[in-house]
Amino acid sequence: MKKYIVIYTSKRGSTKQYAEWIAEDLGCEALPLSNALRLDLHEYDCVIYGSWIRGSGIVDFDKFAKMLDADIMDHLLVFGVGFADETADNYAQVWGYSLGKIDPKNEHRVLMYILGGRYDPAAVTGLDKFLMKTMRAVLLSGSTKDAKSQANMMKDRIDNGCDMVKRENITSLVKDARKIAER
């Protein structure tokens, strides 16, 4: 029996939902990062970290990264949950702010997934609300045709909310986690 662990950070529940579905499929625990900081991750055949995406960053990835070393990174899979589509630009940006910071040459070939999230504008307050207003303004300044059509879709999601959370989104992630555990 291979040993898995899913560690997550979630503000409004969608990442938690994905973490629980993944853990159910792999027959393991899903723990919030705050409850996982003392775990020895060497004990697991595959470690999964998932968090919500905020300003293209995987939230608390830096905190989680303090638990890693080269061996663990060879058995790691990361996912971010957001409302932006998984375009090459978005993927590269999210990767650059997370895995790219600790493995810039991608030597450990850590797989990163971006899963469709949930956004309710009415639930966003304080600093998050301010950041969202800024993001909306920056998006609207996109120049290329592609950037413009993506930006319009994002603007619609920011203004009206969206829910892209579906269990089927985890299918290939779970398959990849099983492959990683066999390494």
Ligand X SMILES: Cc1cc2nc3c(=O)[nH]c(=O)nc-3n(C[C@H](O)[C@H](O)[C@H](O)COP(=O)(O)O)c2cc1C
Query: Which residues contact ligand X by CB under 6 A?
Result: 10-16, 52-56, 81-84, 117-119, 124, 128, 131-132
Q: Whose structure tokens read 């996982």?
A: 36
Least CB distance from residue 75 to ligand X, whole Å?
24
- CB of 2 vs ligand X, minimal distance in Å: 26
| 55 or 96: CB nearest ligand X | 55
Rounded to a whole number of angstroms, the minimum distance from the CB of residue 20 to ligand X is 11
Radius of gyration of the chain from Cα atoms? 17
Give the integer Cα–Cα distance in Å for 121 and 111.
30
Closest by Cα among 62, 63, 65, 57 to 128: 57
∠ CA(177), CA(112), CA(16), 5° rounding?
75
Whichever of 61 and 73 has its CB closer to ligand X, that residue is 61
How would you classify residue 109: left for phi > 0, otherwise alpha for psi between -120 and 50, otherwise beta? left
In angstroms, what is the minimal distance from the CB of 52 to ligand X? 3
Between 72 and 132, name the residue whose CB sits nearer to ligand X.
132
Q: Which is nearer to ligand X, 72 or 153 (CB)?
A: 153
